[in-house]
Each structure stands twice: as C-alpha cells, then as structure tokens.
Amino acid sequence: MLLTDSSESSIKSFLKNLSPVDQVGADSRAAMLATRSIKTSSKLWAIETAIAMIDLTTLEGADTPGKVAALCTKAVRPDPSDSSVPHVGAVCVYNDMVKIAREHLDNNGGKEIPVAAVSTAFPSGRASLDVKKRDTEDAIASGATEIDMVIDRGAFLSGNLEKVFTEIVCIKEICGERAHLKVILETGELVTYDNVRKASFLAMAAGADFIKTSTGKVTPAATAPVVLVMLEAVRDYFAMTGKRIGVKPAGGIRTTKDAIKQLVLVNETAGPDWLDPKLFRIGASALLNDLLMQRMKMKSGQYSGRNYVTLD
C-alpha cells in the first residue's frame, strides 16, 4: 500500500489507490459536528486546551521587531492578569524574525515555546528548490525548531507529483532532527476534497510531521470539512503505518466557537490522542483574544470586552 520508491509512477499509483472523499458526506458531517454544544467545565477545558494549541502568528510585511517582541510576551503569558492561563503552542513568524522571537522568548521565561518559521518562499512557494533549501537552512540556523513549508500547488495541480514529493523530502532532510516539518497544502487552491486527501498523503509519505491547511493568505482557508478530510487522512495514515502525524488548521479561525468546533472535529475524527499540542495546532492571531475574553467570562461571570485584552 505504501510507497516503494519516489518515482512519478509509484507516487501516482499510491495516490490512485486512495479511497475518494464523499464530498456531500464530509460537508454534512462537519456541519453536524459543529452543532455539538460544549458548556461549563468542558468549555473551560476546551478554551485552555485551544490556547495551548495556538501557533501565535504574525505574517505581515509590516512586522517589526517590536511587534514580534510583543507577540512573544503574549505567547509566554497570554493573560497578564491571570498566571493560570497556559502558554501558547508556538510562535510563528517570517524567517528574518526568528532570531528576535527566539531571543525574546528565552529572555522572558518562554524557553520551552518553540519558534516556527514559514520557509520555502512562503506564501506562494514560487522559487527554485535551491532557494527553498537555503531559506529553510537559514530559518533553522536562526533558531527555528518548526518549519512551515508550502508545497508547489502549481506542480501538484498540473500532475507533477514527483516534484512536490521531492521538495518535501529535501526540506525534511534539512530539518532532520533539528526541526519539525509542517507542510502547508493551501487547501483553498486545491479545488477538491479529493485533492486535499491526495496532497495530505503525499506530504505524509514524504516525511511531514504535520500537515497544515493554509498560509492564511488565501480564502477559503481552514474550513471545517477540509480539516475533517485532513484529520481522516491522518487517522488512515496512522492505521497504515502506526505513525501519528499532526494537523494544523490555519486561517479564518477567529472565535472561541470556531476553535471549539475544531476540537470537536479532532476528537470525533482522529480521536482524543490528537487533542494534544504535539499533534494539533491552530494557526491564529486574533483567536487568542477571543479565547481569553471567553475565559474571563467563565471565571468572573460577566462578559468581557476588548479593553481587557492586549491590542495586536
């Protein structure tokens, strides 16, 4: 069932043997799971779990060292008025900000928080393999321990699967034991759920530690059915190989409700083992404030407002 070698023909036959996705079924199952009601102590648990799973992200052309430093401070202690809030899963920045983020985290009690870098000509992935390799090497040398790489969607859509596969393998070689590799599929550009499933398997077979939905620069991003399809892929891959691959939805998850829906999907699809920051992350920035406000409401009984969380 699994790949025997990395030739075009063997990749094609491997992906061809994958069971197709029932699109209507995936849509309706995701919609059905979104109606689950999570309240009181379960909600509090979900909020805190979601906070610990956030890859707190800033990926703007206008990012400054000051903004990255502020983000890192928030990552270490999301709610300055409450030390019982867990720190976030990771900080996710562009390559040139990795060093600043790493230093700021180390100096402010966030030694255990990894820094993730978006590499390989993020967000489009339109560069030569050599440039992508050096981009990744540079990020790791600066202190990144997680690499978020983008796949070449153009190659994938035109059927040049070997190119996509080889790129992931090359980047994985560079990461080695030094960094976790997250492969961004950019599902908003993959058109069909079948493609999402194929790309997920391609990435996992090529050595991804995590598969990630989107760059956040394309809409639609992490829609519930897409995350469901990816979680199913991860589950099936685990059944085949015994290897647990993580999933990271990113983009468009802004409210506590959205985040809790994601956790329900994880629990019901991949299983409770995946409810762990090691295997599930949420790429977000605005989400954290909403989670904190909801948590304040749970703790104090009164609705909170944006004046009581940091501006970012």
Tell me whether residue 18 or residue 34 sits nearer to other proteins (CB atom): 34
Cα(167)–Cα(144) distance, integer angstroms: 19
Tell me whether residue 279 or residue 296 sits nearer to other proteins (CB atom): 296
| HSE-CB for 228 with a 13 A CA cutoff | 22
Three-class DSSP category at 157:
helix
Which residue in the list 212, 258, 261, 290 is annotated as catalytic? Answer: 212
Structure tokens, 126: 């339109």
Residue 294: CB minimum distance to other proteins, A: 11
Helices 8-16 and 161-175 pack at an angle, to 10 degrees, of 100
Annotated active-site residue 5? The verdict is no
Tell me whether residue 10 or residue 255 sits nearer to other proteins (CB atom): 255
Tell me whether residue 35 or residue 302 sits nearer to other proteins (CB atom): 302
Three-class DSSP category at 7:
coil
Distances (CA, A) of 166 to 133, 155, 190, 208: 12, 11, 19, 12
Q: Is 204 within 8 Å of 237 (Cβ atoms)?
A: yes
- Spell out the residues 6+ positions from residue 158 whose beta carbon is closer than 8 angstroms to its own: none
Annotated active-site residue 212? The verdict is yes
Residue 298: CB minimum distance to other proteins, A: 13
Which residue in the list 79, 135, 148, 258 is annotated as catalytic? Answer: 148
Q: For residue 167, give the amino acid letter.
A: E
Tell me whether residue 17 or residue 37 sits nearer to other proteins (CB atom): 37
Cα(23)–Cα(121) distance, integer angstroms: 31
Residue 71: CB minimum distance to other proteins, A: 23
Structure tokens, 271: 């299983």
Annotated active-site residue 248? The verdict is yes
Structure tokens, 216: 């956040």
Q: What residue has token string 């959205």?
A: 258
Tell me whether residue 34 or residue 76 sits nearer to other proteins (CB atom): 34
Binding site for other proteins (CB under 8 A): 301-308
Residue 305: CB minimum distance to other proteins, A: 3
Residue 306: CB minimum distance to other proteins, A: 7
Residue 51: CB minimum distance to other proteins, A: 20
Which residue in the list 248, 258, 261, 290 is annotated as catalytic? Answer: 248
Structure tokens, 178: 């030094």
Structure tokens, 102: 């790493």
> What is the set of active-site residues?
148, 212, 248
